Amino acid sequence: MGKIIDITVPFSTDLPLWPGDPAPSMDYMKCMAGGYRCNVTRLETGVHFGTHLDAPCHFIEGKKGVDELDLNVLVGTCTLIEIPDVQKIEVVDLEACNIKKGTERLLIKTYNSHYWSQPAHEFRKDYSAITADAAAWMVDFGIKLIGIDYLSIQLFDDQVSTTHLVLLDAEVIIVEALDLRFAEPGNYRLTCLPMKLVGADGAPVRALIEKE
């Protein structure tokens, strides 16, 4: 296979934080400077911070957790489309991309990716995301995994969370805060591996694409 492109934002505690969420922390629980034989970092974070995925139980009680997600969906051929200058991604924007029938994994590159050229920026509310209608269109199309390049698949002012509910009810895996700056539209093999957190509503992921 081709060159690996890492589409994961490096995890540091100064990445943008969802408004109101407690800040993450990373510090040493043991360190050589303190007389220990080795350095051991301790990490404290919400599981939807940085590049991560949402499991169905994020919005729907009793649905699947991260550890139950199908690896055969998390790994496989994906299509990357670019919708560069639209904030509110509608059905018409998706239709204009002529996505090939049978596509199961879709990554959407928007202007959001540029935000990651300064990873430590303040949270932006004007990010690009998809409407509830576009979410329903994806479910009908047969999409099983959808990735986007900012912290939520739904618009910031979507106060009823219909976009999340439509996707998660259909068990579509949602991957958020991807850095797609260095990926051109086309087909790739996606490998999107979350921490195997038992029963959790989300998890940090490491996500790669490679030309097949």
Which residues make Cβ contacts (< 8 Å) with residue 31, sequence separation at least 6?
A: 39, 40
Task: Determine which residue in the list 42, 88, 121, 124 makes contact with its own copies, applying CB under 8 A.
Answer: 42
Task: Determine which residue in the list 23, 71, 92, 96 makes contact with its own copies, applying CB under 8 A.
Answer: 71
Residue 23 in contact with its own copies, rule: CB under 8 A? no
Active-site residue list? 58
Residue 4 in contact with its own copies, rule: CB under 8 A? yes
Q: How many residues bind its own copies (CB under 8 A)?
A: 50
Residue 9 in contact with its own copies, rule: CB under 8 A? yes
CA distance 25 to 43: 6
CA distance 18 to 50: 10
CA distance 108 to 182: 13
| Minimum distance, C-beta of residue 171 to its own copies, in the bound complex (Å) | 16
| Minimum distance, C-beta of residue 118 to its own copies, in the bound complex (Å) | 15
Measuring CA to CA, which residue among 46, 71, 63, 59 is closest to residue 153? 59
Q: Which is nearer to its own copies, 42 or 95 (CB)?
A: 42
Residue 170 in contact with its own copies, rule: CB under 8 A? no
Residue 212 in contact with its own copies, rule: CB under 8 A? no
Measuring CA to CA, which residue among 181, 148, 188 is closest to residue 3? 188
| Minimum distance, C-beta of residue 25 to its own copies, in the bound complex (Å) | 9
Residue 2 is encoded by which pair of tokens?
């081709």
